[in-house]
Amino acid sequence: MTEPLLSIDSLQVWFPLRHGILNRVRGYVRAVDGVSMDIAAGETVGLVGESGCGKTTLGRAVLGLEKIHSGTVRYNGRDLATFKGAEKLQWRRRCQMIFQDPFASLNPRMTAMELVSEGLAQHGLLKGVSREEAAIELMGEVGLDAESRLRYPHEFSGGQRQRISIARALSLKPEFIVCDEPVSALDVSVQAQVINLLIELRERHRLSYLFISHDLGVVRHIAERVAVMYLGRLVECGGCAEVMEAPKHPYTRALLSAVPRPGRTSGKRELLSGDLPSPTAPPSGCPFHPRCPMARPECAREAPPWRETKGHGVACHLNGG
């Protein structure tokens, strides 16, 4: 087997809770709590789960934007913690991020031309071309006309702003991009255009995506594999079609039962009781057992092992019932 482009091993991201005059640590928010997964070159892995389950924190930690409590992230077999100086700078060029809200992630005082070419200027990659020429080429790749290069973010629609964000991410010719809910703030009709653009760019440049989303319909359209997170942990991971059609974890089944499908007029909804537990005090054993309609006594006593069969993994004592 070939070495994965990105390998995440037992990753933990804990945020300290400090109290009192002395600012002492009294506990931790376990945002990501022991996640392991691989992403191959040219592959898209969809990461899904409820709000607050740790999806965005995982994506940010992979890019070094959050401090890792324990575990490792390897890029082409190398531990990211060992990258220093010029090597670290080179890695940062190869890994980019598209943020959820393009209006918040774009500097309102910069024109579209300045935004998409800023990385090229900072890394000294404008060799023989002007920032304007580079910006026109990048904007053309994402479907924006050259005449709009001098406009500011507030003069664009939401979909156009996200295209600017995509062009900015593409400017340094990355291999891996974290897409943090890139279409959740857009109208449905615009969502389809942006998703199709991301697919086209993936095929043209052989990009790898970690595609974070709460919309399983979008993930089904763009991803080859899907990983399901709950309370900071991975509960199921496998081929997109297999997980969507034959989910093994009760939480995955509940998520899928809430997704409307064309032609399906009826079907049993798997309703979950209660709310997502606090990551500051996660439940014992399986983190999902307080809300699971199929929970057994052993679910509260011990964490389920990760079982994988033919590339489809699940962490459940029931192993899909």
Residues of the chain with pLDDT under 50: 265, 320-321
Contact predicate 58/47, CB 8 Å: yes
Domains of the chain: 6-109+175-311 (3.40.50.300)
pLDDT score at 228: 96
Contact predicate 158/185, CB 8 Å: yes
Residue among 316, 271, 303 at smallest CA distance from 30: 303
In whole angstroms, give the CA distance from residue 179 to residue 168. Answer: 13
Collapsing DSSP to helix, strand or coil, 170 comes out as: helix
Contact predicate 31/12, CB 8 Å: no
pLDDT score at 116: 95
pLDDT score at 320: 46
